[in-house]
Amino acid sequence: MDGELLYETAAITDYLDTVVASNKFSPSNPLSKARMRQIMAIIDSYFYSPAITTIVIQRLIVPSQGGKTDEDAVKNAIAPAKTAAEAIESLTVGSSYLLGSELSIADFYLIPIFIYLSQTPEFDAITAQTPKLRTWWDEVNKLKSVNQVCA
C-alpha cells in the first residue's frame, strides 16, 4: 500500500479481497454482494457488541483473570444478540456458507464471533431460532482452516 494507513475491518477486508484474492471472497452477483455487505453491517452495528464486548468478555475473559461475571450485563446482551443473529439468519441462504456454496467475507466476519460465543451458555438461547446459522456453524466448524486457527 506504499505506506498508506488503512483501518476499519470492512475497508481492510475489501482491500485484501481485491488486491490479494482477486475478489474471490466477494460474490459476483450484485444482490449477493449487497447481502454480504448487509450481513457485515449487521455484525458490525448490532451483533459484535452484545456478543463479544459483553457476553464473551464477561463469560470467558473476566473469570479467566479472576474477576466476577456481570450477570446483569450478560442478561441484557442476550436479546440484542438474538435479534441480530435472527436478522443474519433471514439473509442466509441455508447452504454450505452464508451466501451459497462459496466462502465470502460475511463468513469470515461471523466465524470468529461464533468461535467464542459458542463457548458460552448463552449461545443456545441466541441461536435458538436460527437453524440455518446453526447448520452453517456445524459445517464451517469442520473446515481445516478454522480448526487450525482454533488449535
At 63, the amino acid letter reads P
pLDDT score recorded for residue 2: 75
- Can you name the residues that pair with 97 across neighbouring β-strands? 100
DSSP-derived 3-state class of residue 106: helix
88-102 pLDDT, tens digit each: 999 999 888 999 999
Average pLDDT score, the chain: 94
Gap between the Cα atoms of 72 and 56, Å rounded:
14
pLDDT score recorded for residue 1: 62
124-137 pLDDT, tens digit each: 999 999 999 999 99
Q: Which residues are CB-neighbours of 119 under 8 A, at least 6 positions away?
A: 56, 59, 60
Q: Using DSSP, how many helices (H) and how many strands (E) does the chain show?
A: 9, 0
Burial 13-45 (b: 16+ CB within 10 A, else e): bbeebeeeeeeebbbeeeebbebbeebbebbee
36-80 pLDDT, tens digit each: 999 999 999 999 999 999 999 999 999 999 999 999 999 999 999
Q: Which residues are CB-neighbours of 93 under 8 A, at least 6 positions away?
A: 99, 100, 132
Q: Which domains does the chain have, with CATH numbers?
A: 27-150 (1.20.1050.10)
Q: Which residues are CB-neighbours of 88 under 8 A, at least 6 positions away?
A: 39, 42, 43, 47, 98, 110, 130, 133
The average pLDDT across 14-20 equals: 93
